[in-house]
Amino acid sequence: MPLLPYKNFSSKLKMIKDGELSLRENVEFFLNLINKNKHLNAFNFVFADEAKEQAASIEKKINSGKHGKLAGMIVAIKDVLAIKDKPNTCSSKILKDFKAIYNATAVQRLIDEDAIIIGKTNCDEFAMGSSNENSAFGNVLNPVDTQRVPGGSSGGSAAAVAANLCDVALGTDTGGSIRQPASFCGAFGLKPTYGRVSRYGLTAFASSFDSIGPFANCTEDAAAVIEVISGWDANDSTSTKKPVPSFQNLNLDGKKLKLGYAKEYFGEGLDPEIKASIENIFKKLKQSGFEIEEIHLPHTEYTIAAYYILTTAEASSNLARYDGARYGYRSSDSASLLEMYKSSRSEGFGSEVKRRIMLGTYVLSAGYYDAYYRKAQKARRFIKQDFDDAFKKVDIILTPTSPTTAFKIGEKTTDPLEMYLSDIYTTSANLAGIPGISVPITKSSKGLPIGLQLLANQFNELDLLKMSYYIQMNIL
């Protein structure tokens, strides 16, 4: 953090306006740092020349006072979001040579407000994973401890922000892929309400779960980004027409938010050190006058099962389009069309993606549909109902983001179930479509970041960010 001469984006913009910071030098600074940190493998692609050109022209705009809201913000984009004429690989061999032909809406909105796109970040293949070990581009290393994973699937975005390789980054969160890597790397990570941000130009993993959101080193920057990328888009019929509030004022201004605590999120499997640090935050919040009420989320035990049944079902259908005929990789030595489909998919997809396609095909198959898919849909409804009931009593629910701190590279790769369990506290927000943020609160005795997750009701990102800001300013 002290590497940068500014504490957040708005102070950066002011420094540029006041002539105290050159945007071109700032871009050079990030590009240098990206180069020095190549070993982290956070980026799949870096757009050095374009970023420098952009810096020069946006600096002019700033000087003439005709600039966008995010003028000069240096942004990295997860390699599942389309940027026109740039590779869109999803960290998969199957899309290795595929280039996007248009901008994702979230990307376009950043560009329209004069943000500078510095590169595309590494991630788990098709955003499937919790450790960034499922990438055709290789692992990403956690900048805090390079023996460890950065979390996943948006591991490159989290690592890039935590290592100061950009101001902010976009990630995607289908079951925790923004919040969990944010907590592993010590960054803020915001998953908005489902439908708040258009998914147009996002390569689909599980369409009824996927959300796009920012990683940042402070609440203010996450707020600035979400304000710009949110809102209705004619190209995504699931995007909401609800108005986007201003996220400029993050002060509570005397507003008393009611906080909730759910025992179900503090049970077996939670690292005692994480539990103790969150209890410590509770204590400080109470001392500051907050009420923390116990609430119940009784269907929590079904979240992992429901999540992995429903998302694999959606993924198996979404990934059917990669057949070697229309997109990306095509196997060269096939005797027939069917053979070509088979070998392109067998050679192009990595093993975790194949596992999910098989699981998803199975839970949707005739005879098993009722036992798995339909049942999981019902569980999803109950989980949503739990949150509806809870948010009648409280405004924000506080939980750990992840049951553990960042684990060692290779530690969980042989046991997929163990890996899936690292999503135990994050998948519920996607099942219920509610927003959540991971706030870096402290470090463990081994120096590893610990994240606190805040959850709010649908479309209540404002209170979520206000609470995050309060904790950032007054509790940490």
The residues binding ligand GLN (CB under 6 A) are: 127-130, 152-153, 172-177, 205, 311, 423
Considering 154, 157, 177, 183, which one is annotated as catalytic? 177
Q: Please, what is the minimum distance in Å from the beta carbon of residue 303 to ligand GLN? A: 12
Considering 91, 92, 130, 153, which one is annotated as catalytic? 153
Q: Please, what is the minimum distance in Å from the beta carbon of residue 123 to ligand GLN? A: 8
Q: Which residue lies nearer to ligand GLN by CB, 206 or 257?
A: 206
Q: Which residue lies nearer to ligand GLN by CB, 311 or 458?
A: 311
Q: Please, what is the minimum distance in Å from the beta carbon of residue 292 to ligand GLN? A: 28
Q: Which residue lies nearer to ligand GLN by CB, 177 or 193?
A: 177
Q: Please, what is the minimum distance in Å from the beta carbon of residue 457 to ligand GLN? A: 21
Look at residues 185, 190, 389, 383 and name the one whose alpha carbon lies nearest to residue 293. 389
Q: Please, what is the minimum distance in Å from the beta carbon of residue 418 to ligand GLN? A: 12
Q: Which residue lies nearer to ligand GLN by CB, 307 or 469?
A: 307
Asked if 138 contacts 41 with a C-beta cutoff of 8 angstroms, the reply is yes
Q: Which residues touch 39 (CB under 8 Å, ≥6 apart)?
A: 141, 146
Q: Please, what is the minimum distance in Å from the beta carbon of residue 424 to ligand GLN? A: 10
By Cβ distance, which residue is nearest to ligand GLN?
177
Is residue 14 annotated as a catalytic residue, yes or no? Answer: no
Q: Please, what is the minimum distance in Å from the beta carbon of residue 156 to ligand GLN? A: 13
Is residue 208 annotated as a catalytic residue, yes or no? Answer: no
Is residue 177 annotated as a catalytic residue, yes or no? Answer: yes
Q: Which residue lies nearer to ligand GLN by CB, 174 or 428?
A: 174
Active site residues: 78, 153, 177
